[in-house]
Structure 1
Amino acid sequence: MTKPIAEEAITNLYCSTLPRSLAIADLGCSSGPNTLFMVSELIKEVDKLGQKLGPESPEYQVFLNDLLGNDFNTIFKSLPSFQKEIMSYQLGPGAGPCLFSGTPGSFYGRLFPSNSLHFVHSSFSLHWLSQK
């Protein structure tokens, strides 16, 4: 249900800034089979826009965040096949590289430097917030 909202937000962001490097964070990413789903949808949307608008495709910097107990090793082991699939089969020619980092910790505290992210997504972690 949230996919159209995220796609509209990334479209507005990309079209208004046309960044050469796009930093995306997924808060509460978990480590299951859906971990990389929203990231892949956002990247595909930006790639589709880039093909229409004509500028060079940005490089993608993806920060995956969850609590310290998350199994980041499982995520990292799945990245080569994810990158091969998205770069070879789902994106257009000339797509920028997709680089990943794990950022363990609670989002109740600071996780990233100021002005370092373009887009932050969270599917299942908002229910943990005690206030807006």
Structure 2
Amino acid sequence: MEVERVLHMNGGHGESSYAHNSSFQKSEMLKVKPLIEATIKDMYNINGGFPECLKITDLGCSSGPNTLFAVSEIIDIVHGCCKQNSHNKTPPEFQVFLNDLPENDFNTVFKSLSCFFDKLKKEKGDQFGPTFILAMPGSFYQRLFPSKSLHFVHSSFSLHCLS
């Protein structure tokens, strides 16, 4: 049986759904935030700023309250870098690819986007660069993206499946 059909999170909002059983994953993501922040700051400093459109992916994004958490944290860090540095005050546009297996509940993810965008606009204001969020369903056992097409790749709890 194909791995894509076997390994997936329980969608929806029921008692056994990932949305109701993902607090451990969030606490672990908070532990690695300093590493993510250091990496993004290094990327900013080495390149003298960010590209006009920063392309990010979250491998194994799943669905539920944590789905956009990592993306939100990355956007916050990028926004902070731009505010602190005078040579690139304007934050870049963001193109975000949410990756998970095709069985993921992407409908639930996309239903949450309007609230996510409203929150970004409220927190960051009108100066904030546009954010485009897309789904990239598929297994990372196979190639998902063209060469040199991403600037930042995030994965919390999915790469252990590659063993």
Scaled by the length of structure 1, the TM-score of the pair is 0.93
Distance 1:25 1:68 in 2: 16
Structure 1 gap ranges (5+):
none
- Distance in 2, matches of 1:58 and 1:15, equals 15
Q: Residue 157 of structure 2 is aligned with which of 99, 124, 131?
A: 124
Q: Distance in 2 between matches of 1:110 and 1:121?
A: 16
Quick one: percent identity of the two aligned structures? 55
What are the residue-to-residue correspondences of 1:1-132 with 2, within 5 Å? 1-17=31-47, 18=49, 19-54=51-86, 55=88, 56-89=90-123, 91=124, 93-130=126-163
Q: In terms of Rg, which structure is larger?
A: 2
Q: How many aligned positions are there?
A: 129
Contact kept in structure 2, 1:25 and 1:63, CA below 8 Å = yes
Residues 24, 63 of structure 1: 8 Å contact kept: yes
Q: Deviations over 1:70-119 (max 9, x none)?
A: 01111011001101101212x25511011000000000100011111000
**TM-score normalised by the chain length of structure 2:** 0.76
In structure 2, do the counterparts of structure 1 residues 92 and 45 end up closer, same or farther at CA, with 3 Å as the change threshold?
A: farther
Quote the RMSD (CA, aligned, Å). 1.1
